[in-house]
Amino acid sequence: MADSVADHRLRSADESSFALHCQNVVREYSRGSASMFSSRGDVPTVRALDGVSLSISTGEFVAIAGPSGSGKSTLLHLLAALDTPDSGDISVAGTDVTSLSSRGRTTLRRDTIGIVFQHFHLLPSLSARGNVALPLIERGVPKRARRERAVELLEQVGLGDRATHKPGELSGGEQQRVAIARALVSDPDVLVADEPTGELDTETGHRVLDYIEQTADERAVVVATHDQHVIDRADRVVRLRDGVVVNDG
């Protein structure tokens, strides 16, 4: 039987009332291979997240901050259903992510989560409009409606006149705005962004941040960042160190 996201809706009112919720989340990664260390296969591990608990509501703009190696990207990938924890619970828009199959998580991301990557991840052979419309193909949206929706989003991020340009013809800031438009094209409940200003100059980073901030009225927005400008503008800052939340406020 196909894995249905609806089958994994949480019964707990406390958890389902949040756009994002994680409880006692642990994520470990192995160092090297078993053959490198012992014939018994004892592989050393590093604990990237150690008992993280966090709840984020619709309308919140939350920055995840901390030094390199603190667990920011690991936490973001878990919240975006790109990965699963070794233990603990995670829910997105009322759905228990940890009980979903890989296919179920793909469906959840398609329908519920918008993701903005630091390095854009645009397809070079497609126009800006084509890149933005891409998530709608899997949802079965007709071609004309896809084009109209993509142009609408590009206009919202100030790129209506660049709709037919390919990524190689766009600046870094323009490519990031295309990536934001693509992340929002399905009107997700949650937007997650990993260092969205990390590759941009200060002025361009401010403009990109403006567009991200504007979306927070309608959804939960979570940004992993080193950028103090992002931290200053967030409603709330969650600070990690060595995989542990050391401050939340």
pLDDT at 1 over 50: no
Domain that holds residue 146: 5-33+43-248
pLDDT at 188 over 80: yes
pLDDT at 14 over 70: no
Structural domain includes residue 38 = no
Please provide residue 75's backbone torsions phi and psi, each rounded to the nearest 5 degrees.
-65, -40
Q: For the domain that residue 135 is a member of, what is the CATH number?
A: 3.40.50.300
Structural domain includes residue 164 = yes
Distance CA 128, CA 175 (A): 8
Number of domains the chain is built from: 1
Structural domain includes residue 129 = yes
Supply the pLDDT for residue 146: 96
Give residue 114's pLDDT band: very low, low, confident or very high (50, 70, 90). Answer: very high
Residues 15 and 209: beta-carbon distance below 8 Å: no
Model pLDDT for residues 140-176, shown as the tens digit of each residue = 999 999 999 999 999 988 899 999 999 999 999 999 9
Distance CA 137, CA 125 (A): 16
Nearest to 75 by CA among 24, 27, 10: 27
Supply the pLDDT for residue 13: 44
| Average pLDDT for 196-205 | 85
Q: What would the DSSP string read from start to end of 38-87?
A: -TT----EEEEEEEEEEEE-TT-EEEEE-STTSSHHHHHHHHTTSS--SE
Residues 243 and 47: beta-carbon distance below 8 Å: yes
Structural domain includes residue 76 = yes
Tokens of 242: 């060595």
Structural domain includes residue 106 = yes
Tell me the HSE value of 85 on the side-chain side, using a 13 A CA sphere: 29
Structural domain includes residue 242 = yes
Model pLDDT for residues 25-68, shown as the tens digit of each residue = 999 998 765 554 555 556 788 999 999 999 999 999 999 999 99
- Selected residue with higher pLDDT from 2 and 19: 19
What percentage of residues in the chain have a pLDDT greater than 70? Answer: 89
